[in-house]
Structures are given as structure tokens and as C-alpha cells.
Amino acid sequence: MSFVKLTASTLAIAAVSATAAVARDQVQVAGSSTVLPYASIVAEAFGENFDFPTPVVESGGSSAGLKRFCEGVGENTIDIANASRAIREKEIKACADAGVTDIIEVRIGYDGIVFASDINGNSFEFTPVQWYKAISKQVVVDGELVDNPYTMWNEVDAALPAQEIQAYVPGTKHGTREVFEDKVILAGCEETGDFEAYKAANGDDKKAAEKACIALRTDGRSVDIDGDYTETLARIESNKDGIGVFGLAFYENNTDKLQVATMSGVTPSTESISTGEYPVSRPLFFYVKKAHIGVIPGVKEFAEFFVSDEVAGPDGPLAEYGLVADPELAKTQESVAAESTMGGNS
Amino acid sequence: MTDLSQTPASGETPMPQKRGQSLLEPSDRTKRRNAAETRFKAYGIGAIAIGLLMLLVLVTTIFSKGLGAFQQSFVTLQVELLESKLDKNGNRDIDDIKKVTTFGYAPIIRGAIEAKVTELGIDTPLKAKDMAGILSKDAAATLREYVVTNPGQIGETVEFRFLAQSRVDGYLKGRVSRDSIGNDKNISAGQLDLVDALVAAGVVEKTFNLAFILGSDASDARPEAAGMGVSMLGSLFMMLVVLALALPIGVAASIYLEEFAPQNWLTDIIEVNISNLAAVPSIVFGILGLAVFINYMHLPSSAPLVGGLVLTLMTLPTIIISTRASLKAVPPSIRDAALGVGASKMQSVFHHVLPLAAPGILTGTIIGLAQALGETAPLLLIGMVGFIASNAPDSIASGLLSPNSAMPAQIYEWAKRADPAFYERAWGGIIILLVFLITMNTLAVILRRRFERRW
């Protein structure tokens, strides 16, 4: 039966080539879905301009990417992890336990987090305090901590339009969530002075008070979105009262459907973020396994290309897509060229 | 329905018809029974109508949203490949030419479009940089690739068909309107005026886009250049693996179970488990693939080989069940006759039973493959979703082992991206995927019709 022979030979070829092709020749990147568009733009240009194959960029979230990054050293692990937040101590330790000791941290620029609602709806001018009051699990009313009673934005602040509170915030696996909690909810919590009430309620424990501050209400007024911004957009399209948390680049690609809200009186744009006027922004990073430089072809070249002036600079394609260029890019370029790892030992 | 519950509970005499009533005149009970039947028929027709309506809605949505992806706007320009920019030393050394990155090609493109606008006498307040903004970022890559492969053309003027950027394309397709671009920083009203003028001059035109079917994925900055081709190859290689593994293993297992295995508790357990396996959600196979094939066996991640292995596990039960059913359908008299004229058990199976069961087996296999082709969930876990399908494989080995995506994974990836142009391409991808699935299912039906034998 020729069919059996064909099968056998196909299997044989597959088995032989599987052993032969263990040497991986393209860079593998995984991590933050916020960094994914930037990384894919760079990967595409890298494949076009160098003799290396186009790197593979997978998404899945900062935490998922760093977890894969910390699985160990070797060709079946990824070379670069994208993250929309800095690596945590816990993750560095997990990395070290798996043998990933030399990590190069590369900051590629800044990204703004914007609050946007349906284009035809009310326009909003937010402050962190309003967001804290609207979606925190507990708030202080008449000197006492109570479950969040607000249902309309104008109950939170009379200056806001009378619209149901319905917020779509990024889920906990997204790096964006951390920034949102830190720079909006916690900032608002501290500004109102509710923080002291939490502190008193938690026996003067600052950590516990912070945690209580950023706990969001679970009665359906605030919905965690674990998917991508497209999911948030779809939610807003179906519920016109919804207000979503987006990356600046995503908003700029969907200006026909969304209108952006100001935060503390500043309209988000690459300019207002780079001057630091717009408060809700965060640095974006990628992490390189030093042990893979020289083993997997193109890792260092890719990292250097990523932060080169013509790519990550203020006139480069990344800035055009919505990244806020890092004013200290030259320093980053130096440290990538020198392969300086975290903790100082290069 | 009502009469079923009524009769025993009513307690009347079970005589259906009262004495003296005409047979020609239906009694009340007959009327009720007939009415119940009519109602049931109406429910059935209603159910079918709802189903058809859903199908109609689905198909019209897919086609209305996806057909746009098969058309693309192109800008035809004459580009002077300036030696001063592309080959400063003038010695046509390929290594020197390669040193000019795509960023170095931007001024040449700017010059080309400016020259075109001047030549046509279009009055526009735009600067050259904004004029070039109506072109795709892919233009520089197209140009560089041409120059690197044809270094002899440097210094000449060559005509190119560049892609227009996604907003311009959307404008010509009616997706983007002048009202909707108010806050858009990717395009301005002035650029749309220029596009209108260029369309009138025949420089910008919308034509069939073969690159969408044959091309590779593109990054978020240039959705207009993205295509399905490479992920289609990824799917093809996965299907080859599935076919090469699942068909022989599945057929061998079912022949043994059906024809040779003794009937005991062990084969019973195996049988039950095969049926259970068919109902296991596909994501489970994905986790299994990650744990076994990638983490334990160290096969490369994102490789169609691993995808194929995972989908093989998923398809096996389908093939085994359908093969067993078609083996069972071959009447025992065929086996008895073969054995009666002195054939061995194996000869009777391979010479008589298997050929007669072949159409059924093939149908089952094709339907199993079609199922595997549309599967996304397990691929998420083995790294086949992302910005992957950008390198077209150049050999069978690299097709199996170098990272690639698959059609459904590519569609999922596009649907997630920010630019609305990708959304259109996701729907277009669905059309291509559906064409494959419908072809495969039609093939299965034809095979069954042509070769199936009934006894």
C-alpha cells in the first residue's frame, strides 16, 4: 500500500527535520498586548531591513509574557518579554530560580491611558477623585465607610452629566490595570482624604489601606475586561452609557467611534503625555535574556533596532502609531549596546 | 401533546367514539389530535425558518463586511530610483545597497508623489510629507525589495503600484467619511481632497487585491498590506500532519476494534473512552500539547507540526467513530462469503470490507479535517496566535517547523487589532475560511453520494 509508505516517509521526514531544526533562527517575543502593536511594527521593519527572519511576536498580557520569559534559558523559551509595567521583584526571583539571571531591561517609551466614551454621547471632564468615588468598592459618606451608593455620574460630582455609571476597566492580568489603580483610583482615594478612613479601618496598616482603596465595586457598575481593547470598544458600542479605559494608540485609531475625556483638565495626546501634563501614563518595557544573545541570531540586533532613533525616536513609526518617545532614548541605546543587565553587572 | 396526558387521566370509558356518530364526521378527539399534529408541523416549520433566518443573517453579515477586503486601493507612481540616495558609492555593491533601510527610501517616495501632483497640476496646500501620507508604509518596503533584487535599475525611473494607506482605502470604500475624521490624526481633509483629485486623474484606483489571498500578515501600522496566504500555508501543513497521522492511526484502531478485538471489559472501556474523547473540549488538547509536545518533547513552539499533532488528537475520535460506523454498515454476508471461499480474516477485511467502507471513512476524515481546520482554541496555547505569519516557509521542513499561524488564528488576531481596517480583513478571512470548509464538506457529500452502497 503506497499510502502506508507515504505516511511512513512523511513521518520520517518530520522526525528527522524536527531534530535537525532544533536551532531556532528567529527571535521570539511574547507579552503585553499594549506593546504588541509596537513590537510587531518593529519586527516587520526588522525583517525587511536585516537578513534575519521576521521575529515572532505573541501577546497574552505582561504577566503571562514574563512568566514564559522566566521559564528558563534555552531555545524553547522566549528571548524577549514585552511588558506594560516594570518587572516585579517576585518575577525577578522566579526568573533567577529558573536560571534566568541576566536580564536586560529596555524602556521603549511612554504610553497614555485614556478614558473614552461613545462619540455621540455626553462628553466628560474627569478627575481621579471622580473615578475613585464612582467605582471604588467603598467610599466615605458622612464620615463613614459605606458600600458605594452612587449610580449616576452627577451624584458623584454635580459637574458631570447625568449618566449611569458603567465603567469598563482592564482586567487584572493587564499591566494597564496597575497603572489605572495607582494613578487614578489610589490618587483619587488619597486626594479625597478617604485614605485616612481606610487606614483607621485597617488598624493603621498602610498597605491594607491601599489595597482597600483600589478594590473596585463588584455590583456590575465596573466591569473587568480581560480581553483586548476591541472588547472594551464592543461593550461601549452595545452600551452607549459605558466609559472605557483604552491605550492612547487604540483611541487614535478609533476616533470615529470614541470621544476622549480629559483628565484633570488635560486632553491626552502624545504632546501632553511627553511633557508630563497628562497624569495617567506609564513607561513600556521589554526584557531581554542576555544568555540568548549570540545563541539566537538577531536578538541583540533586534533590541538595538527597536530603540534606535529612526524607530523609537520622536519621528519614527512608533511615535506615529501613538508611542510617546522616551526623552532618555540615548541612554537606553547605550545600555542595550553595552548589554547592561538589571542590578548593574554588565 | 395534550391528548397524550389527557386520555389516561380523564377516567372515561376508553371507547373513542360514541355510538351513532358518523365516521365521516370527525369526533372532538380526532379534531384535537389533528390540531396537535398541525401545530407540531407549524413548530417544525417555524424552527426551520428561524434556522434559515439565522443563516441568512450570518451570510449577509459576513459578505457585507468581508467583501471589501478583497478590494484594495492602489496608487500608481513613477519613481526615480536616485543613485545619490540608494547607492552613494555608485558601484552597485549589493551590501552597500542593503545598508539603506526602508527609512532611507521615504524621501524618494515623497519626491515621486510630489512630482506626480505637480505633473497633474493639482493644487494642494499639503507638504510633500503629507502627500506621501496617503501611501501605505508598505510602499518603502516594496521599493527596497525591488531595488535589492534589481540593483541594475538604480538611476532609472520605474513605475510602481503602491498600496494606499488604510484610511484612504476606507474612504474609497465608504468606511471612512469626511465627518468621521475630525479627530483622526492619521488623515486630514486636505489629504482626502488630494485623493479625490488623484482618483479623478486615474492615479488612485480600487482593484481586486490578490495580495489579501496570497500575502503575509502585516503589522499594526499597515493593515492594508496584510494577507492570509502564509497562514493558509500554516493551516495546510497542519492538515497534512493531521491527515498523515490521524487517518492511518484511526483506521487501524477501528479495524482492530471492529473486526479483530474480542468483546470484553477492556475493549468496552476503550470504546467508552473514545466516545468520551470526542466530547473533550479542544482547549484541553491545547494544554496537553503545550505540556507534552513543547515543554516535554521540546518541539518548537508556534510550529504547524505541533499544531498538527494537537489537532490529530482532536480529530482521532471523530475518524475512529465514523470508520467504525461504516465498517459496521458492511453486511456480515460479505465477510462470511470471503471467509467461506478460504480467505483469511485479514484478507476478508482488506480485500472486501475496507474497500466497501472506504467512502464512509473518507467522509468521516474530511469532516474531521474540516473541523480541525476551523479550530482556534488549542492554537492559542501553543503560540500560533500573534504577529507570526510573516515569514513564508520555503521548504516542507520549514513549513512544518518554522513559526506560523493558521487561518482561524489569523482571523482572531486581526479581530483584536486597533485599526478598523483589520476588522474588515478579519471578515474577509472568514470568507476564505468558509470557502475552504464548504469545499471540504461538499467533497464529503459528493464522495458519499458517488460511492456509498446501501444493502
Contact A54 B176 (CB under 8 A): no
Highest mean pLDDT among A18-22, A207-211, B15-19: A207-211
pLDDT of residue B214: 92
Contact A58 B388 (CB under 8 A): yes
Nearest C-alpha in A relative to B423? A230
pLDDT of residue B314: 92
- Interface with B, mutate which of A7, A22, A27, A48 (most B CBs under 10 A): A48
Residue A20 has pLDDT above 60, yes or no: no
pTM: 0.85
Contact B103 A57 (CB under 8 A): no
Contact B401 A17 (CB under 8 A): yes
Residue A22 has pLDDT above 70, yes or no: no
- Interface with B, mutate which of A40, A233, A267 (most B CBs under 10 A): A40
Identify which of A22, A40, A51 has the shortest CB distance to residue B387.
A40
Identify which of B103, B180, B298 has the shortest CB distance to residue A256.
B180
User: Pick the residue with more confidence: A12 or B354?
Assistant: B354
Nearest C-alpha in A relative to B294? A76
Nearest C-alpha in A relative to B415? A230
Contact A14 B184 (CB under 8 A): no
pLDDT, mean over chain B: 89
Identify the residue whose cell numbers are 511574547.
Answer: A30
Provide mean pLDDT across the span A85-113. 91
pLDDT of residue B2: 47
Q: Which residues from B are below 8 Å from A324, CB to CB?
A: none
Q: Please give the share of chain A, as a percent, with pLDDT higher than 70.
A: 92
Residues pairing with B301 in the sheet: none
Q: Which residues from A are below 8 Å from B390, CB to CB?
A: 43-44, 47, 54
Whole-angstrom CA distances from A153 to A81, A132, A159, A167, A267 are: 39, 12, 9, 11, 20
Distance of residue A49 Cα from the nearest chain B Cα, in angstroms: 6
Q: Which residues from A are below 8 Å from B148, CB to CB?
A: none
Identify which of A40, A256, A260 has the shortest CB distance to residue B219.
A40
pLDDT of residue B20: 63
pLDDT of residue B1: 45
Contact B137 A317 (CB under 8 A): yes
Identify which of B101, B295, B403 has the shortest CB distance to residue A56.
B403
Contact A253 B182 (CB under 8 A): no
Cβ proximity of B390 and A44 under 8 Å:
yes
DSSP letters, A24-63, are --S-EEEE-TTTHHHHHHHHHHHHHHSSSPPPEEE-S-HH
Provide mean pLDDT across the span B249-259. 94
pLDDT of residue A9: 64
Identify which of B301, B401, B418 has the shortest CB distance to residue A37.
B418
Q: Which residues from A are below 8 Å from B255, CB to CB?
A: none
Identify which of B386, B397, B416 has the shortest CB distance to residue A230.
B416
pLDDT band at B391 (very low <50, low <70, confident <90, very high): confident
Contact B180 A227 (CB under 8 A): no
User: Pick the residue with more confidence: A227 or A5?
Assistant: A227
How large is the ipTM? 0.82
pLDDT, one tens digit per residue, over A60-78 is 788 888 998 998 898 888 9
